[in-house]
Chain A
């Protein structure tokens, strides 16, 4: 079987470029220089692992991101390799030809291929809301995944559900890990994920033939181990207490922290603030807009992108923790004041009533006695 190196050479990649790719990959994976020859050796000798790229309910932004991977060789090599296998969006074949390739892949590489899923299966109406190649996507996903080695969930759609799963989720779009329960699912969330992150994750898996180290939620630790906030270049302004108070104010011009403008950097695990986008040119915060937390679970349903204390839909429209808190505390304060007033009245009345009988009781008793005497 063809190795990666052979496939790359066939695509016109020089050995020099190949070694550059290996060192870039080692760096982006956070591995030392000693790993460069190991990656090269693995790519030269191991038969390449087939990758099947499936498209469910999605917008193809993951693919758009992936084909813009800034390390040119990552794009050329990996994309070429994948297009040789199956990716109905960018492969040369179409229609029955394409589906025939998919059937062949499943048969010939049973238990040995990786399924990369972009988008997710909608489950309502027996999956009829997504119907590629004449079968519901949920069935296609289950059929292809049955003999897979592992699954990669590309983007927030496959990882969490994203916009199509936002309330009220009419198609019941469901993330991949809730449908495929018997295979490891590696989540690479983001809307879209960073191209270099996608390329590196897939390279790691086909190079080392194992799953990268995952965090509690199934994301590769090497790219999702830290929050945007932790490596944000505006972090010193956060610690200093210097914030953008409104758009285009002095703070915005000085590049202050966007925390008050609702930046979700403190709750978002992704590599944007380190890897950045478009060949490391920029990322949202650098462009002056807060992070919207697109790689986090249910980010569409967590209130405004522009509030720090976000609204809680369960408590009504536009209610956030502070509004609820002030309302409850205010009501309680009024209730306490009213209760205290009634208590004071009661005390006064009791004092009058209790003290009177003590004085009045004596004559009353005497009166009774008098009557008895009579």
Chain B
């Protein structure tokens, strides 16, 4: 049986050896941080598009507040979408860690065993964590879910963007069908797009917490791995 993690449980006493493995290649790291910036921009501007800021005084001619907010949202949306395409491409040509969050081996019994091990670890039932060079199975599922939500946000986002560009625009031609798929009233798509935003915010909260927690409790690097690319095992 193929093993995904290795047993790094029992403390090995004094004389700990720090080992490091190169996990995340530069394009993966770049994608990660670009996506972080996009999500921050998209969430703030997206929230303000649904619930705009208080009105500005003066003539409409000299103000463009909503215009700039929407511009930032659309630009960040384009970057996020291009990033996703780039990331999917890298899953094909990058190292095998680049594929972990796209192709989750749900058909593998051993993978499920470790998945439940991780669940027990997060529920404080397991005493010691396992160590993973790439993602642990729970993290894999979380990341894969995020990717699908991000894809949905791109599809629904470009469908709504296409409405503004007009029915002859590329966005409406390519993604307008999403609105029909939701029944035809784009208000429904707006609602789901907003729920998508909240689900990504939820993901970010859990993601950041889990990364920092694992960094401390599993004695392996998490946060700096996404900066340097190297995973370090501290014992």
State the A residues within 8 Å of B (CB).
Answer: 160, 215-217, 221, 225-227, 230, 236-243, 245, 251, 256, 259-260, 264, 266-267, 293, 296-299, 302, 308-310, 312, 320-322, 324-325, 328-329, 332-333, 336, 339-340, 342-343, 346-347, 350, 354, 358
Contacts and interface: CB of A to CB of B under 8 A. Distances in A.
Nearest to B62: A240
A243 B183 contact: no
Interface stretch (B29-37, B50-58, B103-111, B136-144): B50-58
Contacts of B60: 236-237, 239-240, 242
A216 B176 contact: yes
Contacts of A237: 60
Interface stretch (B76-84, B92-100, B201-209): B201-209
Contacts of B131: none
A217 B167 contact: no
B216 interface: yes
B64 A296 contact: no
Given A267-B190, A299-B185, A217 B180 contact: yes
B202 A332 contact: yes
What does DSSP make chain A's interface, helix, strand, loop or mixed? helix
B163 interface: yes
A336 B198 contact: no
A347 B216 contact: yes
Contact of B205 (A251, A296, A329): A329
B183 A298 contact: yes
Interface string B114-143: 000000001010010000000000000000
Contacts of A325: 194-195, 197-198, 201
Interface string B196-235: 0110011001100100010011000000000000000000
Nearest to A215: B167
A217 B64 CA distance: 33
A136 B116 CA distance: 59
Given A216-B176, A241-B65, A329-B201, A347 B217 contact: yes
Interface residues of B, number: 51
A259 B52 CA distance: 9
Contact of B56 (A225, A241, A260, A340): A241
Nearest to A244: B55
A266 B124 CA distance: 49
A343 B66 contact: no
Contacts of B186: 267, 296
10 contacts: A240-B56, A251-B55, A293-B185, A297-B183, A308-B50, A321-B50, A322-B194, A328-B202, A339-B209, A358-B13
Given A267-B190, A325-B195, A343 B61 contact: no
Q: Taking each of B163, B177, B206, which has the highest tally of chain A beta carbons within 10 Å of its own beta carbon?
A: B163
A309 B49 CA distance: 10
A217 B180 CA distance: 7
Interface of B: 11, 13, 47, 50-56, 59-67, 69, 122, 124, 127, 163-164, 166-167, 176-177, 179-180, 183-188, 190-191, 194-195, 197-198, 201-202, 205-206, 209, 213, 216-217
A216 B180 contact: yes
A322 B196 CA distance: 11
Nearest to A312: B191
A228 to B, nearest CB: 12
B211 to A, nearest CB: 12
Contacts of A299: 185
B119 to A, nearest CB: 13
A350 B128 CA distance: 9
B180 A230 contact: no
Rank and list the top 7 A-B pairs by shortest CB-CB distance, nearest first.
A241-B65, A325-B198, A240-B63, A321-B194, A297-B184, A240-B60, A236-B60
A336 B205 contact: yes
Contacts of B167: 215, 221, 225-226
Given A217-B184, A267-B186, A321-B194, A354 B66 contact: no
Contact of B206 (A239, A243, A264, A336): A336
A242 B65 CA distance: 9
Contact of A296 (B65, B177, B187, B197): B187
B52 A241 contact: yes
A227 to B, nearest CB: 6
A358 B12 CA distance: 10
Contact of B52 (A260, A312, A336): A260
Contacts of B65: 240-241
B63 A333 contact: no
Contacts of A340: 209, 213
